Structure 1
Amino acid sequence: MSLPPALYIVPTPIGNLGDMSPRAVEVLKSVTLVGCEDTRHSGRLFSHFGISTKTVSVHDHNERARAQWIIEKLAEGEAVALVSDAGTPLISDPGYHLVSLVREAGFNVVPLPGPCAAITALSASGLPSDRFSFEGFLPAKEKGRSDKLEALREDPRTLIFYESPHRIIQSLESIVAVLGADRPMVMARELSKTFETFLSGTAAEVLAKVLADDNQQKGEMVLMCHGFVAPEQDDEGVPAKAMETLALLAAELPLKKAAAIAAQIYNLKKNALYKAGLDAGL
C-alpha cells in the first residue's frame, strides 16, 4: 500500500500484543521510515509483526533536530510514522515538538486510534469520567511533587497520573499528605498484562495495600484520584480558589451570574457563593 506524504501517529500495545490494530501494522509496513522512542524496543515489536521498515530514533534529546530531517523526508514525498515504546505517542512520551514543527511546515499529521494507559485505566476505575485531567508523571523531588498536588488539591476533575515503581511509595505518601488520607482513589497496575491489578479505596488505604505487598510496587502504574468535592457548608466552606474565580467573574458580570458560573465550575451551591460574594463586597 502506498501512503501519501504525512506523519502518521501510531499507537502500540501497552502490554498485550493482541491490542496491535491491523491498521497500525499496515501503516508501519507501508511508510518509508518510522521514528521510534527506542529503536531496540520497537525492533522487538516489529519483528513479532514482520515489519521491516527502516527505523530512526526520536527521543527527548534529539527530537527538535530530528524533526527538521523528517520534514525534509516529507518534502521528498516520503511517508513517516512515529511510535513510542508503548501506547499513544506524545502522551507522556516524545513527539510534541515533532508534530508541531511538521504541522508548521504544512504537512499533514494523521493520528491512528489505539492503546492509551490513562484512558484504559479510567474506563475501569469507577471514578467520574465525564471530566478528568491527565497530569503525566508527578515531579521526582518531594517539594515539586507537593507543590504540584497543592495546585490540584481543589480541582473538581478526576486526576490521572503515571508513576514508576521506584517512586510509587513517595507519590502515594504525597497524595495522602496533600490531597488527604480520605481522598478516594484507584491505582491501576500492569494494564493488559498477566498481573493486571486495580487497587481502590481511600488514598491512605491504597498506600497501605501497596506497602503491604511488594508485588504492588512493580510494573507500570496509573494513579487516579477523585476530584475535589467541596463540603456542603455556608460561605465559610467556600474554597479559596472558588472565591478567586468568583471575584474575577464578578468584575465583568452581575454577581448572581458570576456565582452561578463559579458554582458550576467548582460543584458548589450557587446561593452559598452568592452570599460569600455579598459578604466579600463583590
Structure 2
Amino acid sequence: MPAPAPGADPGTGRIVLAATPIGNVGDASARLVELLGSSDIIAAEDTRRLHRLVQALGVEVSGRVISYHEHNEATKTGELLDQVRGGKNILMVSDAGMPAVSDPGFRLVEGAVEAGLTVTAVPGPSAVLTALALSGLPTDRFCFEGFLPRKSGERNSRLGELAGERRTMVFFEAPHRLEVMLRALHERFGADRRAAVCRELTKTYEEVIRGSLRELLEWAEGNEVRGEIAVVVGGAPEQDAAKPEDHVAAVNELVAQGIRLKEAVAAVADDLRISKRELYAAVLAAR
C-alpha cells in the first residue's frame, strides 16, 4: 500500500482508481482482479456492468458495491470520503477505461485531495491512448477534447477555438452523431485534414478508418456506424495555425451571449495567442 498522503491519518483507508477493459476482458490486470475481490467498497459507474465483469473474470466480490455515477456524485462523494476516513479501502471503477477521464471519479479525487486522503491508481486500458496509437497520426504532442457540444452553435465555437491547434486531438463521439461531427470538422478544419475514426477498440469488430476528413465524411455517410467511437484528428499545419479569420465564429458566439465586441475579441485572441488587431479586422470584414 502506498504511503499516506501528506496530512492523512495513517489509520485511514485509501481510494484506488482502477482502469477496466474497454472491450476485451482479457485486458484486465492482475491488480484489478485482486482489488475487485479484496476492497471493502467498490464504487461502480454501473453496477450491472460490474457484475458482468466480475463474472467474466471469475472474481468473488466480498466488499459492498455501491452505484457512483454522474447523477449522484455530488451526494455520494462525502459518504465515500467518510468511509475512507474510517479506514475503508474503496475501489472506483467506471464502465470502461480509467475513472475520472470522461467518466465519474473526478469529484472523488478532488474531495480526497482536499481532505488529505490517499488516492492511487491501477493503470490499464485507455480508449484515448489506444485510439491515438492506432491512428497513424503524430503522438509526440496531443490533447484530449472529450465529447464536442451537441448544439451546433456551441460545437462550431469550440471547433473555431481548435482550428489552429497544432497538437493531435482525440475526441469521443456517439455513433448516431458521428456524421454530424465529421461534417463540422470538415467545415471548420478543412477537407484535407488527416484523421482517423476508431470503432469498437479491442473488441471483435474493431475497425480503424484513416484518411482525410473528406474521405471519412463520405465513409460515414455511406455506412450505418455502430459501437463506441473515438475520433483522432491531426493538428493544424504550421502555415494554417491560428489564422484570425478562422476564429470569427468564436468571437460572434461570445457577442451573441451579450459580451461587447472588443472584449470578445480580446478573450478569443488571448486564448489563441493571436493578434487582437488582426482578429478584430477579420470580424469586421466578415460582417
TM-score of the superposition, structure 1-length normalised?
0.80
Q: Are 1:32 and 2:36 counterparts?
A: no
Structure 1 residue 238: deviation in Å?
Answer: 7.4
SS of equivalent to 1:201? strand
Change (3 A) 1:114 1:238: closer
Q: Are 1:239 and 2:243 counterparts?
A: yes
Match of 1:228 among 228, 236, 241: 236
Partner of 1:141: 151
Partner of 1:20: 28
For residues 55 and 238 of structure 1, the distance between their equivalents in structure 2, rounded to whole angstroms, comes to 48
Within 5 Å, which residues of 2 pair with 1:112-261?
A: 112-214=122-224, 217-231=225-239, 239-240=243-244
Which string of whole-angstrom CA distances, capped at 9 and with x for unpartnered residues, describes residues 44-73 of structure 1?
112222231321111111112211111111
Partner of 2:118: 108
For residues 64 and 102 of structure 1, the distance between their equivalents in structure 2, rounded to whole angstroms, comes to 13
Match of 1:47 among 27, 45, 55: 55
For residues 40 and 68 of structure 2, the distance between their equivalents in structure 1, rounded to whole angstroms, comes to 15
Q: Are 1:10 and 2:14 counterparts?
A: no
Change (3 A) 1:51 1:148: farther
Equivalent pair of 1:64/1:98 in contact (CA under 8 Å) = no
* Letter of the 1:33 counterpart: I
* Letter of the 1:51 counterpart: E
For residues 228 and 51 of structure 2, the distance between their equivalents in structure 1, rounded to whole angstroms, comes to 21
Equivalent pair of 1:37/1:83 in contact (CA under 8 Å) = yes
Partner of 1:94: 104
Equivalent pair of 2:170/2:233 in contact (CA under 8 Å) = yes
* Letter of the 1:166 counterpart: H
Structure 1 residue 43: deviation in Å?
Answer: 1.3
Equivalent pair of 1:67/1:102 in contact (CA under 8 Å) = no
For residues 54 and 48 of structure 1, the distance between their equivalents in structure 2, rounded to whole angstroms, comes to 19
For residues 138 and 239 of structure 1, the distance between their equivalents in structure 2, rounded to whole angstroms, comes to 22
* Letter of the 1:225 counterpart: V
Q: How many residue pairs were aligned?
A: 238
TM-score of the superposition, structure 2-length normalised?
0.78
* Letter of the 1:111 counterpart: A
Equivalent pair of 1:25/1:51 in contact (CA under 8 Å) = no
Structure 1 residue 240: deviation in Å?
Answer: 3.5
For residues 182 and 8 of structure 1, the distance between their equivalents in structure 2, rounded to whole angstroms, comes to 43
Partner of 1:261: none
Unaligned runs of 5+ in 1: 242-264, 267-272, 277-282
SS of equivalent to 2:135? coil
Which string of whole-angstrom CA distances, capped at 9 and with x for unpartnered residues, describes residues 71-106 of structure 1?
111111110010000111111111111110011111
* Letter of the 2:188 counterpart: V
Equivalent pair of 2:14/2:90 in contact (CA under 8 Å) = yes
Change (3 A) 1:27 1:154: same
Change (3 A) 1:73 1:239: same
Bigger shift: residues 50-59 or 199-208:
50-59
Structure 1 residue 142: deviation in Å?
Answer: 1.3
Equivalent pair of 1:230/1:239 in contact (CA under 8 Å) = no
